[in-house]
Chain A
Amino acid sequence: MTGTELQLLGCAKTFGGKTKALLPTDLVVKPGEILGLLGPSGCGKTTMLRIMAGLETPDAGGKVLFDDEDVTKVPIEHRSIGMVFQSYALFPNMSVRQNVGYGLKVRGIDGPERDGRVDEVMAFCRLEGLADRAIDQLSGGQRQRVALARAVAPRPRVLLLDEPLSALDAALRDTLRDELAMILRGLSMTAVFVTHDQSEAMAIADSIAVMKAGRIEQRAAPEVLYRDPQTDFVASFVGGANRLAGRFEDGELHLDGGTLKTGIEGNQPDHIFIRQEDIQISSPDVSALRGTVIGRVYLGTHTKLTIAGVSETPLVVSLQGATAPQIGEIVGLDIPATSLIHF
């Protein structure tokens, strides 16, 4: 893989002497890797991205490395990064072409060379025919692609994206997410991508760092995070897994809706997780665990059921194929012991 290796060593950020936006963090992004920074709002994702960019300096002791070069004290304009801002920050006084070419212009590249590279990048980001448009004549999706084209045109060492899809309509977001994933892959550039949406992170990133309250909880490939979460937070935030809390006795978990055989021996946790698609619906007469359907959303490929009375919080079940029960029905739940997630 080509590209620059990006490293954070012991980077923390404290605002105004008390807000600990980021706790001391180590992180390596391999050359050409697309890393997703995933976490709820306020967990420090933007702060970490801005430290990588050079828009914030880490607290004393923290270091940012591009390959082996220490860039901690290098200001953003000399770091050779590309950045896509949450608001896009497109220049309203310039046309699309001028926006995309600005990074080349300030580097003193002009004439046919600049035009050629701008055309190339615009074609790559599917912006043909928009070159002379003003920014306020663009749709949301087009703006996002202009922001991306502008960031990559000077061939930065590292590309940083802060929630590039959050400003778009929900209807557009899925299509543009896949498109962005394809463009980023085609660039084969080291990239860090911030999002609060786990499906976005899954679709775009090679590797995801899940963040909570200024810390990285787990860093792994998307499949690994989903199949093998290491903390409660990752299990529920990334996998959307259900939390079952009750009283453990002899390998059985006693819940409001009945008992669940867990096969867990020795150290018995007071709660476990189960993924939505690992629960099967059965007859209430034969099942040891029962609940009442209180929500039912048909989504074509599957049906999402919300079931109350099993544990403290309602259970979400994603049911494929089989005809789903109706609201108000009492159902039995089959939960295979092998699918349980516990720590």
Chain B
Amino acid sequence: MSRRSAFVIQFSVTLLACAFLLVPAILSILAGVTVNYFQGIVASGVTLKWVGQVWELYSDTIWRSMGIAFGCLIITAIIGIPAAYGLNRFPGRISRIVEEFVSLPLSIPGLALALALLQLYGTIKGFRLSSWFILVGHVLYTMPFMIRSVLAVFSTIDLQSLEEGAASLGASSWQRFKDIALPNAWPGILAGALTVVTLSIGEFNLTWMLHTPLTKTLPVGLADSYASMRLEIASAYTLVFFVMIVPLLAAMLWASNKAQSIGKPS
């Protein structure tokens, strides 16, 4: 087989795979701006009417999702960054056990985690019925991503030597954390933060179990609209979701590339 035909075959396969992934998404998004899906976009025309209706019906889910994602980011950062710092600083059996323990929610299905939360807190009514309940679930689910991402950066820099250097210059442990550990872990924190936000915004399994009619998030609202609304509205909703999540995904990719390039010669 010549190199040229090998290239043509590879190129076609890649193209096909892309089409396989993208065509349904594009069709769905197009449906969201079509006046009447059954007549087709050409015959019936383009409209933003459906997007407007989505906003009227579901804007609360969008705000709630953004609020929960933001809260999740704050909490995972406040707990996760010092936790990763501690795990890196005192390596050993106990740290490994803690790390595994924190990562446990990764291997437990979201449904089981939700069930556990319901059993434990379901009777505290005020809490159970509020968005805080969902936030707790999201924090449990995303925490390992923050911790691991920050730990990964800590393991590529020789933080112990850097901190000893700072200590020899008179820096207290707080100054060492603030001036040395944090800035050097920054790319990892960024990558972790984007992962947390993206996962929280897109989380469905766990949230579906935990939500009440008054605490729907965006993905739960999506499922709801698929089941009960006309196709154009569901599609317009999907469009809104894409617009929110795609820039986050792109930023996440960029940040994790940056985090991985730490410690390598530039």
Contact = CB atoms under 8 A, between A and B. Distances in A.
Interface of A: 53, 55, 75-78, 80-83, 85, 87, 89-93, 102-103, 106-107, 136, 150-151, 154
A76 B167 contact: yes
Interface string B175-193: 1000110011010000000
A92 B171 contact: no
Nearest to B173: A77
B162 interface: yes
B170 interface: yes
Contacts of B266: 136
Contact of A89 (B164, B179, B186, B265): B164
Interface of B: 157-158, 161-162, 164-172, 175, 179-180, 183-184, 186, 265-266
B76 to A, nearest CB: 23
Contacts of A150: 165, 169
Contacts, number: 67
Contact of B171 (A83, A85, A87, A106): A106
B167 A77 contact: yes
B165 A81 contact: no
Contact of A83 (B157, B165, B179, B265): B165
Contacts of A151: 168-169
Given A85-B164, A91-B162, A92-B184, 11 more contacts: A77-B169, A78-B170, A82-B168, A83-B165, A87-B161, A90-B165, A91-B165, A93-B180, A102-B171, A106-B172, A150-B169
Q: Is the interface of B mostly helix, strand, loop or mixed?
A: helix
13 contacts: A75-B167, A81-B168, A82-B169, A85-B164, A87-B161, A90-B165, A91-B162, A92-B184, A102-B166, A102-B171, A106-B170, A106-B175, A150-B165
A209 B228 CA distance: 85
Given A76-B164, A87-B161, A93 B169 contact: no
8 closest pairs, A vs B, by CB?
Answer: A103-B169, A89-B165, A83-B168, A93-B183, A89-B161, A106-B171, A76-B167, A77-B167
Contact of A103 (B161, B170, B265): B170
Nearest to A153: B169
Contacts of B165: 83, 85, 89-91, 150
Nearest to A136: B266
A74 to B, nearest CB: 12
Contacts of B168: 53, 55, 76-77, 81-83, 151
A89 B162 contact: yes
Nearest to A75: B167
A159 B153 CA distance: 31
A77 B161 CA distance: 14
